[in-house]
Amino acid sequence: MSNDSTDTAYRPATRLLHAGLDRTPFGETSEAMFLTSGFVYDNAEQAEATFTGDVVHYQYSRFGNPTVAALERRLADLEGAEACIATSTGMGAVSSALLSHVKAGDRVVASRALFGSCHWIVANLLPRYGVETVFVDGGDMAAWAAALAQPTAAVLLESPSNPMLEILDIRAIADLAHAAGAVVVVDNVFATPLLQKPLELGADVVVYSCTKHIDGQGRVLGGAVLGSQDWIANTLQPFTRNTGNALSPFNAWVMLKGLETLTLRVRAMTENAAAVADYLAGAEGVTRVFYPGRPDHPQYELAQRQMTDGSTLVAFEVAGGKEGAFAFMNALRLIAISNNLGDARSMVTHPATTTHMKISPEDRAQLGITDGVIRFSVGLEDAEDLKNDLARGVAALGLR
């Protein structure tokens, strides 16, 4: 799990190909895929010493696997983290990061702008186990200060947020959280490890759905939790090992292949996202556009300080509410309707009826998720083809 990767003087694109590579004696060029549930020992004494921790030896793929370990090393290298544990899904990463750290009587403060399943964990699951939870408006620093004026175990936030791409001041929130004794957990999916470094901004733990940009081609599920060696080994690892939140070696191998092209894909997708955001901003019937790379974004200045580019996602609102949004989406011929994101192929979804359906209408209204909002995950297609397809959606608004 520890980050013993290649020379960090290499740039990200190089490290994504070479970091954490551990070749077998056969000298393969591509990472080996260890599709095995268990491992054998030379003798009974070695088995005993493995379980006591006196020798390093793989035991069982729920505990660790060479292919999964290669992915963990490479992710830790990219993130600048001391250690990483890969999980079966992105929500497995979020739930494990929180459940491993808190106990009955603890307190968790979270940004209100969370992915639907993350919101459910904070609003519904944690309170079942006696954990007090508090939501705050992410951009209201006075609300953060008030919520963190008493001892707190953990803080959870997304920046940019799903789906409205709200940018939160990670450093300022981390300073308040640390004063309250909290571990700061940042979901960095919308930024990717390439566009934002939460650990450098004061976060303690970073979580990812590797299903998104890291695989990036709609093939497999996976997640990752990154942080200090001490927290990963002593807080997270006992939880994931004993609850079974383990990543398949096959999925890990696919994600290693995805990482090799991550810089190319994120760069091209971000360029496309900026182009289509500008197009949508001038389109008739589109009432609002949210893209961190545009000067009209509410937190544009913060995004410029905190991120290196604007993200691969765009949120926009169309006239006509749900009926208008559905008409727009149904008119598209190239861009798929799907609730996934970070894929090589462009996708749109209607958050109010999909990813954020379980959040109350009142909470959605607070977050700005109206019935006219569409989330657009921009892919690798030619930007002009994407604009032409979006024009079909715009035309459909005019036909209503």
User: pLDDT tens digit string along 103-150?
Assistant: 999 999 999 999 999 999 999 999 999 999 999 999 999 999 999 999
Is the pLDDT at 171 greater than 60? The verdict is yes
Q: How far apart are CA 352 and CA 364, in angstroms?
A: 8
Where residue 21 falls among pLDDT bands split at 50, 70, 90? confident
The confidence score (pLDDT) of residue 20 equals 84
CATH 3.90.1150.10 domain locations along the chain? 266-397
Picking from 11-25, 173-187, 197-211, which range would have the lowest pLDDT averaged per residue?
A: 11-25
pLDDT for 34: 96
Q: Among residues of the chain, what percentage have pLDDT more than 70?
A: 98
User: Coil, strand, or helix at residue 103?
Assistant: coil
pLDDT at 4: 45
C-beta separation of 318 from 167 below 8 A: no
* Of the candidates 274, 304, 303, 302, the residue with the CA atom closest to the CA atom of residue 289: 274
Question: How far is it, in rounded angstroms, from Cα 204 to Cα 27?
Answer: 37
Residue 2, pLDDT > 80, answer no
Chain region(s) in the chain for CATH 3.40.640.10: 12-258
Q: Which residues contact 57 (CB under 8 A, 6 or more apart)?
A: 39, 41, 46, 49, 50
- Average pLDDT rounded to a whole number, residues 172-179: 98
Tokens found for residue 342: 């970070």
CA dihedral of 119, 157, 134, 377, whole degrees rounded to 10: -30
Query: Which of 134, 171, 170 lies closest to 149 in space, CA to CA?
Result: 134
pLDDT score recorded for residue 8: 63
HEC-encoded secondary structure of 153-182: CEEEEECCCCCCCCCCCHHHHHHHHHHCCC
- pLDDT over 90 at 400, yes or no: no
Which one-letter amino acid corresponds to residue 259? L
Burial class (CB in 10 A: 0-12, 13-18, 19+), 23: exposed
Give the pLDDT band of residue 399 (cuts 50, 70, 90): low
CB of 369 within 8 A of CB of 164? yes
* CA separation for the pair 121, 123 (Å, rounded): 6
Sequence-ordered alpha helix ranges (H) in the chain: 12-18, 44-52, 66-79, 90-99, 116-120, 126-128, 141-147, 170-179, 192-195, 229-231, 237-243, 249-259, 262-281, 300-306, 321-330, 361-367, 383-399
Per-residue pLDDT of 217-240, as tens digits, reads 999 999 999 999 999 999 999 999
Q: Mean pLDDT over all residues of the chain?
A: 95
* H/E segment holding residue 296: none
| Position 6 pLDDT exceeds 50 | no
Amino acid at 125: L
The DSSP 8-state label assigned to residue 370 in this structure reads -
* Mean of pLDDT values over 82-101: 98
Is the predicted pLDDT of residue 7 greater than 60, yes or no? no
Mean pLDDT of 251-279: 98
The fold of 12-258 is: Aspartate Aminotransferase; domain 2 (3.40.640)
Say which CATH superfamily domain 266-397 falls into: Aspartate Aminotransferase, domain 1 (3.90.1150.10)
